[in-house]
């Protein structure tokens, strides 16, 4: 049933395979007639698709997250590939579906990345920051969730394992820059880098399709991450108040500007470093 992957499709390709619907939207053409814009996904990637007016009645048969068998042809729309769908049928018998064909996962070795992250944590000289991070990442339940989490729905690292991959990248960038500038507090920058997106563990639900949780919609990962870290700090006796303030400032400012979702703008070297590393 799955004999074709998105990554194999090129301009002119004939489509004859199964996909999962990751987006669905009814739109209108200039003449007022309706059509359906879709996004089809498998483990290799995503492609936009279109159901035109003559096949529009098919849209009642499926929803986002459903597996569908598609026949059609790929063409270029602007500079993007688009699937012009001729027929689309919902797959009713899920026993015929191999989930591993559809769930997007990190292309890198998750176990190896997590080992590198733990090595960076254990290299910290500040015992309070090191202990704080180990309280998170030596917790089997939390670490399993972190390793499976996505960093986004669309823009970057939008697959299982993406949060770990993104976090490690930001952390290693900060580590490299801290080695170049002696006035940067390396341990504080690393701790901020590792924890800056920690709220995304609860912001997204990762399955065949990545969706935002109710918590994610109502609170967002910055607020949730701040709460998670503040509560964990409270478990550590004699954790310095100024260190707590500087670490939480990094979490609250890592989007850089208030109009981009940060309650605060970066005001310390370490906060600026994490913010810029996060945007790379």
Write the burial class of residue 199 (CB in 10 Å: 0-12 exposed, 13-18 middle, 19+ buried).
buried
Q: Give pTM, 2 decimals.
A: 0.80
Where along the chain do its domains lie?
6-101, 110-279
Chosen CATH of 6-101 out of 2.40.50.140, 3.40.630.10, 1.10.443.10, 3.90.1150.10: 2.40.50.140
CA distances from 234 to 83, 127, 215, 231 (A): 52, 15, 22, 5
Convert the pLDDT of each residue in 175-215 to its tens digit: 999 999 999 999 999 999 999 999 999 999 988 788 899 99
Cβ–Cβ under 8 Å, residues 253 and 240: no
Convert the pLDDT of each residue in 104-125 to its tens digit: 889 899 999 999 999 999 999 9
Distance between CA 82 and CA 39 in Å, rounded?
A: 9
The predicted structure's pLDDT at residue 60: 81
**Average of per-residue pLDDT values in the chain:** 94
Q: Does CATH place domain 110-279 in 1.10.3210? A: yes
């Amino acid at each position: 049933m799955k004999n074709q992957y998105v990554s194999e499709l090129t301009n002119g390709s004939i489509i004859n395979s199964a996909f999962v619907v990751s987006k669905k939207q009814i739109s209108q053409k200039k003449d007022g007639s309706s059509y359906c814009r879709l996004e089809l996904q498998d483990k290799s990637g995503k492609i936009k698709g279109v159901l035109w007016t003559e096949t529009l009645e098919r849209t009642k048969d499926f929803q986002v997250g459903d597996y569908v068998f598609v026949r059609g042809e790929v063409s270029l729309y602007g500079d993007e590939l688009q699937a012009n769908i001729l027929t689309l049928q919902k797959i009713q018998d899920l026993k015929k579906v191999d989930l591993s064909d559809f769930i997007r996962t990190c292309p890198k070795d998750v176990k190896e990345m997590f080992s590198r992250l733990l090595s960076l944590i254990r290299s910290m000289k500040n015992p309070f920051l090191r202990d704080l991070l180990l309280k998170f990442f030596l917790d089997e339940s939390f670490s399993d969730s972190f390793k499976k989490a996505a960093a986004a729905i669309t823009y970057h690292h939008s697959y299982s394992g993406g949060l770990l991959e993104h976090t490690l990248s930001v952390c290693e960038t900060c580590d490299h820059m801290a080695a170049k500038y002696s006035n940067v507090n390396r341990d504080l920058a690393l701790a901020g880098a590792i924890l800056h997106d920690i709220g995304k563990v609860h912001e997204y639900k990762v399955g065949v399709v990545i969706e935002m949780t109710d918590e994610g919609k109502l609170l967002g990962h910055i607020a949730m991450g701040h709460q998670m870290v503040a509560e964990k700090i409270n478990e550590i006796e004699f954790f310095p108040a100024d260190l707590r303030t500087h670490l939480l400032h990094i979490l609250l400012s890592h989007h850089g500007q208030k109009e981009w979702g940060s309650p605060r703008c970066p005001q310390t070297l370490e906060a600026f470093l994490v913010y810029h590393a996060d945007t790379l």
